[in-house]
């Protein structure tokens, strides 16, 4: 199978100043308790990915945004193996593709709140997607206690969903790429996802789930409540 047909989307590279200005000016109803979830699917082997990585890095520190960088595996045999890539992350991107009736996957690709799909390299379009796909505060409340997370009862129109636990590294990690399309470049990553696991199914009533201890003190943890496989995210919170 020629994996290059999954490889890339056309991109436009914006100046860093424009990127920062566009993202900082985003008007959103989201807040720290109801962050907009932005998932970037990318790979160090993809020459089109650095601008999208820059877009994600620029919004990664915002309290009203939960920015997550998922490294996919289908570039690994094309010259450079991404050390952060996991099959589970590729599977998650395919879940989104099937839910959206798209025939393939590609990098870079940004998914906003499980609803909006874009390349992610244009900061103005990222800012617009954050506004357009902001889910507001209508989802179930998420409460945090030591070793547990509680999901409140459903509000009108919210269906049962999967509760996902995400572990990510908030530090800026610079990777020197020695082969493949980005050979000779040092790529900065932020909020790289290191683990993704389901805690269980939320049935629409108030429920509590055990949260296992994190394997690395430097990593951060978040919870996503998501309908279906690749469906809309109805609630999210950092723990």
Give dist(CA 162, CA 225) in Å, integer.
Answer: 6
pLDDT for residue 18 is more than 60: no
Average pLDDT over residues 196-207: 95
The per-residue DSSP string of 182-196 comes to: TTT-EEEE-SEEEEE
User: For 80, how many CA atoms within 13 A lie in the half-sphere containing its CB?
Assistant: 19
What pLDDT is stored for residue 193 in this prediction? 98
Dist CA 105 CA 109 (whole Å)? 8
What is the pLDDT, as a whole number, of residue 10?
Answer: 39
User: Which is nearest to 146 in space by CA: 235, 225, 215, 213?
Assistant: 213
Q: Full-prediction pTM beyond 0.85?
A: yes
> Are residues 205 and 131 in contact, defined by beta-carbon separation less than 8 angstroms?
no
Structure tokens at 62: 């915002």
* Complete DSSP assignment for 103-116: S---BSEEEETTTE
Q: Rounded to 5 degrees, what angle do the CA atoms 165, 171, 172 make?
A: 125
Tell me which of 132 and 25 has the higher pLDDT: 132
Buried b (16+ CB within 10 A) or exposed e, 195-210: bbeebeebeeeebebe
pLDDT at 23: 42
- 5-15 residue pLDDT tens: 344 443 333 44
Distance of alpha carbon 212 from alpha carbon 82, whole angstroms: 27
Per-residue model confidence (pLDDT) at position 157: 65
Cα four-point dihedral sign 146, 210, 238, 31: negative
Residue 19 has pLDDT above 50, yes or no: no
């Amino acid at each position: 199978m020629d994996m290059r047909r999954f490889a890339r989307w056309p991109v436009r590279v914006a100046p860093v100043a424009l990127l920062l200005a566009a993202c900082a000016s985003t008007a959103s109803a989201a807040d720290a308790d109801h962050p907009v979830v932005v998932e970037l699917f990318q790979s160090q082997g993809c020459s089109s990915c650095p601008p999208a990585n820059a877009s994600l890095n620029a919004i990664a520190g915002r309290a009203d945004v939960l920015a997550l960088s998922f490294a996919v595996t289908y570039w690994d045999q094309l010259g450079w193996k991404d050390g952060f890539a996991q099959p589970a992350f590729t599977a998650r991107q395919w879940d989104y593709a099937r839910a959206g009736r798209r025939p393939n996957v590609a990098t870079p690709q940004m998914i906003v709140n499980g609803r909006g799909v874009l390349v992610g390299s244009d900061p103005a379009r990222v800012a617009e997607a954050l506004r357009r796909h902001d889910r507001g505060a209508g989802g179930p409340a998420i409460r945090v206690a030591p070793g547990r997370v509680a999901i409140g009862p459903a509000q009108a129109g919210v269906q049962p969903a999967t509760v996902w636990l995400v572990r990510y590294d908030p530090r800026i990690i610079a990777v020197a790429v020695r082969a493949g399309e980005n050979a000779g470049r040092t790529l900065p990553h932020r909020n790289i996802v290191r683990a993704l696991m389901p805690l269980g199914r939320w049935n629409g009533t108030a429920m509590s789930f055990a949260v296992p201890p994190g394997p690395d003190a430097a990593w951060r943890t978040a919870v996503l409540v998501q309908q279906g496989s690749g469906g809309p995210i109805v609630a999210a919170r950092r723990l």
